[in-house]
Structure 1
Amino acid sequence: MNPALQAPGVWLDARSLIALRTHLLHGAETEVQAALPGGFVTRRRGQGQEVADVRQYVTGDDIRHLDRGSTARTGVLHVRSFQEERDQVTFLVADFRPSMLWGTRRAFRSVAAAEALSLIGWRAIEEGGRVGLLVIGPKMPVVTSIRGMVRGMLAVIGAMARAHATVLEEAQSGRLDDPDLDGALARVTRLAPAGAEVVIASGFDRPGGDLSDRLGQLARRRHPRLVMVGDGIDALPPGSYPIRLADGSHRLGRIDEGREDIPPEPLAGFPLLRVDAAAPVAQMARVINGGFPRREGMSHG
């Protein structure tokens, strides 16, 4: 492989994504810079089958919920209360299409997308949830099954790192087919279970004509969250800028005013959480912490 493709910010290092867990555990009180409404769904007490606690009986409690063991042991009526059963699934969608393989400073947008999803995935695991993955690229998509605990997140990270290496090799070989995003998301409805958070990290280039409909379909039974990965170049004024290529040569690149391939905000009625590939990872972590607020009782172990 070309050594230039293994440079930091170009090559997706699985160890770096694993280390992002420390930003979650030790950066819990960092400043909130941006937020999406809502966050992960918390468990509520209800009529599920998982016991929330056992307490003394009070008038009006359902006698069918008597806890025989506590009642016999104390001689006082005790009842069980239950919490609503909600399987928290966070399904991560990483856009590794060729349009994501560029960046002006710290990292490619594809690398930043993987970093953002890793931060979100670690948050879900720490809260007792499960994670799954779909990687969108020029070849067949990469999928990992939905799993919990640390091993579930390690499987997601490993799959993203391998898929990114493949995409870089494809791009180096000149295979730069860039499918529309709406068609690439068709698999999500078959992979993400009802009630799941579906987090899509993308630049939303080449969205396709049906992206709004696709997101609307997802929203009927799932909860889409859109993370737009930008780059510092978005803030540059229109004009021609010198670009140094990997072989050391230079050429001029043109930045035109108003990129038509970037959809307006919000997208299909869904707010966009913006992260900057040029910004330090610690800043991205603060943005993610604000956009995906922690649930009560989050474990730091």
Structure 2
Amino acid sequence: MLATVARPSPESDPFSPPGIALEASALMGLRHLARRGTGATTRGRSGLPGGLVTRRRGRGTEPDDVRPWAEGDDVRHIDRNATARTGTLHVRTHHEERDRAVVLLADFRPSMLFGTRRALRSVAAAEALVLLGWRIAGDGGRVGLCVAGAEPLALPPRGAGRGMAALCQGLARGHAGALAAPLHDDPPLSPILEQARALLPAGGHLVLASALDSPGDDFSERLAALAERISVSLILVSDAFERIAPPGLYPYATPDGRRGTARISGRARPAPEDRLAACARLGLACLRLDTETGPEGFAPLMERLDAVL
């Protein structure tokens, strides 16, 4: 699909209207939406910051509980204070400390520069990823970024507001480069998947936001192999036109001034539900994101996704 943006004119910049342009300041401003309904619930569910891993009892490095001595306990874990206070041996148990990191992969390839309701699919993908990133960073996790587009970008996971500021700036820069680049066929997604995986430590999580247009011949196989090694989630971005477009002739214009008419005779690719089901069979956590919903509607979806990371 082609980007639905008009021919540049002296009076206006076709890339500046809301829904087409992606501003770092606007992405930073989504923080207040991401924090709704979070806090104690997230921490109670995971027992660890970030909401990314479940609590595990064992002999890790983070203190967990104090209990009476039992046969087989390691003498190195004796709690002297509890033992002195009660007069019987007590040991301190620990839970496993694990790195909590997420890499967000934004698809800004040419096919994502398309939209008929509110925003381009690429903009909606960025908004959703930022909402998820704010949730994770706010709970102590670390967030990194990969951008698939005209100017590939990779940022290793970082925590707190500084990491999110770099992420928002990276998304805005990558999107501006994608809009300014000449239109061409979508490159395959497999190479950027491997680049994103390389940024993740053990126990990390990858979240891909894409419409999955032309992902590449080997995409399913590479994604399945990746899902066997790390945790992967998919945010499938969907525009209303894809779901309900009636057959007919549709005019279009491209940023370089070319105009034409496309004939729509029926659904040319699998429905969003079919693509979601195919990815779920590979072991991914999946959800559909409708571009027309907007950040207010994306926030509860990102809360649901955060709950399964």
Which interval holds the TM-score relative to the shorter structure? 0.7 to 0.9
Q: Summarize deviations over 1:234-269 as a string: whole Å, max 9, x none.
A: 22243226557599x997543331223777332342
| 2:138 alignment partner, one of 100, 120, 126 | 126
The alpha-carbon deviation at position 23 of structure 1 amounts to: 1.5
Indicate if the aligned counterparts of 1:43 and 1:85 stay in contact, CA closer than 8 A: no
- Structure 1 residues 79-228: aligned runs within 5 Å: 79-139=91-151, 141-170=152-181, 174-228=182-236
C-alpha offsets along residues 119-178 of structure 1, whole Å, 9 cap, x if unaligned?
A: 111121122211111100134x101111122212221111111111111111xxx34342
- The alpha-carbon deviation at position 67 of structure 1 amounts to 2.0
Once the two structures are TM-superposed, the CA of residue 27 in structure 1 deviates from its matched residue by 4.1
Q: Contact between 2:58 and 2:96, CA under 8 Å: does it hold in 1?
A: yes
> 8 Å contact 2:114–2:120 — kept in the other structure?
yes
Shift in Å, 1:65:
0.9
- 3-state DSSP class of the match of 2:301? helix
Query: Taking structure 1 as reference, are residues 43 and 231 closer, same or farther at Cα in structure 2, changes over 3 Å only?
Result: same
Percent identity, aligned pairs only?
41
How far apart in 1 are the matches of 2:234 and 2:191? 16
Q: How does 1:4-19 map to 2 (within 5 A)?
A: 4-19=14-29
Change (3 A) 1:256 1:40: farther
- 1:48-63 residue pairs with structure 2 within 5 A? 48-53=60-65, 55-60=66-71, 61-63=73-75
Segments of 4+ in structure 1 off by > 3 A? 58-63, 69-78, 241-247, 249-254, 261-265
Q: Distance in 1 between matches of 2:219 and 2:308?
A: 29
1:208-241 deviations in Å (ceiling 9; x for gaps)? 1111111122112201101100111122243226
Quick one: structure 1 residues 105 and 251, their matched pair in 2 at CA, closer, same or farther if it must change by over 3 Å? farther
Assess, with a 3 A threshold, how the Cα gap between structure 1 residues 28 and 128 changes in structure 2: closer, same or farther.
Answer: closer
Residue matched to 2:3: none
Task: Work out the CA distance in 1 between the residues paired with 2:212 and 2:253.
Answer: 25
Q: CA contact under 8 A between 1:56 and 1:76: conserved in structure 2? A: no
Q: CA deviation at 1:62?
A: 4.0
- Number of paired residues? 281
Q: Deviations over 1:99-135 (max 9, x none)?
A: 1001001111001111111111112112221111110
Select 2:242's aligned residue among 226, 234, 238: 234
Quickly say closer, same or farther: Cα 1:25–1:294, change in 2 above 3 A.
farther
Deviations 1:55-91 (A, max 9, x none): 3524445433112345456755442111111111111
Does residue 1:266 correspond to 2:277, yes or no? yes
- 1:34 maps to none
- 8 Å Cα contact 2:276-2:288 kept in structure 1: no
CA distance in structure 1 between the partners assigned to 2:88 and 2:32 by the alignment: 47
Which stretches in structure 2 are left out of the alignment for 5+ residues?
A: 1-7, 40-50
Give unmatched runs, 5+ long, in structure 1: 30-38, 296-301
TM-score normalised to structure 2 length? 0.80
Structure 1 position 66 matched with structure 2 position 74: no
